[in-house]
Amino acid sequence: MADAVVVVALLLVAGSATVAVLVRDPVRQALVLAVSGVVLAVLFTAVQAPDVALSQLAVGGALTPLLLLLAVRKVKRRKGRER
């Protein structure tokens, strides 16, 4: 059973990483990156690394996508002011 969870999590990680690369919109990329971070946290939990999973959930699932979304918002505001 645990092997099946690891295989499914690996497939989801590969799929979400591929989607993050293929998506062109920066906002959607950040959201897919958040999903990828959560899936990686599930994978780390499945391989019995809960401390790494918690760190991945905090950094890869929340902080990094949030910082990217804030940066995209700031860039869009500056483009609006220049016009």
- Summarised one tens digit per residue, pLDDT across range 21-31 is 999 999 999 99
Confidence of residue 7 (pLDDT cuts 50, 70, 90): very high
* Tokens linked to 56: 């991945």
Over residues 44-58, the pLDDT tens digits come to 999 999 999 999 999
Nearest to 42 by CA among 15, 63, 13: 13
Q: How many whole angstroms separate alpha carbon 2 and alpha carbon 45?
A: 11
In this prediction the pTM is: 0.85
Residue 54 has what pLDDT? 96
Q: How many whole angstroms separate alpha carbon 38 and alpha carbon 55?
A: 11
SS3 label, residue 48? coil
Residue 83 has what pLDDT? 63
Residue 80 has what pLDDT? 75
